[in-house]
Amino acid sequence: MTEVIKKLPLKCPSCESALNVSKLHCTHCDTEVTGGFALPPFARLSEKEQAFALDFIKASGSLKDMARNMGISYPTVRNLLDDLIEKLNNMEELL
């Protein structure tokens, strides 16, 4: 049987506002921590944006290598990175 991996929702299914974490649980010792915790910036990125950031790190920041690996042009990769930088900067302004 294939294990289903649940994806962390980023937006409220009712009003589409950002979600926060209210409980953390240790599966090893069953400890629970409750409170209001904001998600870290990378966790608030879409899966596609997270994958891009991970690929960027794995490519040691080489946009040329990323363009080759992704099969897209260098300017397209540069635009994707610029969009991601802008999104992260906007997240910081909201904190």
DSSP code per residue over 54-74:
HHHHHTTT-HHHHHHHHTS-H
> Right CATH number for 41-94 from 2.60.40, 1.20.120, 1.10.10, 3.30.43?
1.10.10
The domain spans of the chain are 41-94
- Write out pLDDT tens, residues 10-45: 889 899 988 888 999 999 999 999 998 888 889 889
Q: What CA–CA distance (Å, rounded) separates 78 from 67?
A: 9
The answer to whether 67 touches 58, Cβ cutoff 8 Å, is: no
Q: What CA–CA distance (Å, rounded) separates 69 from 4?
A: 29
pLDDT score recorded for residue 27: 94
Phi, psi at 33, each rounded to 5°: -120, 125
- Write out pLDDT tens, residues 36-92: 888 888 988 988 999 999 999 999 999 999 999 999 999 999 999 999 999 999 987
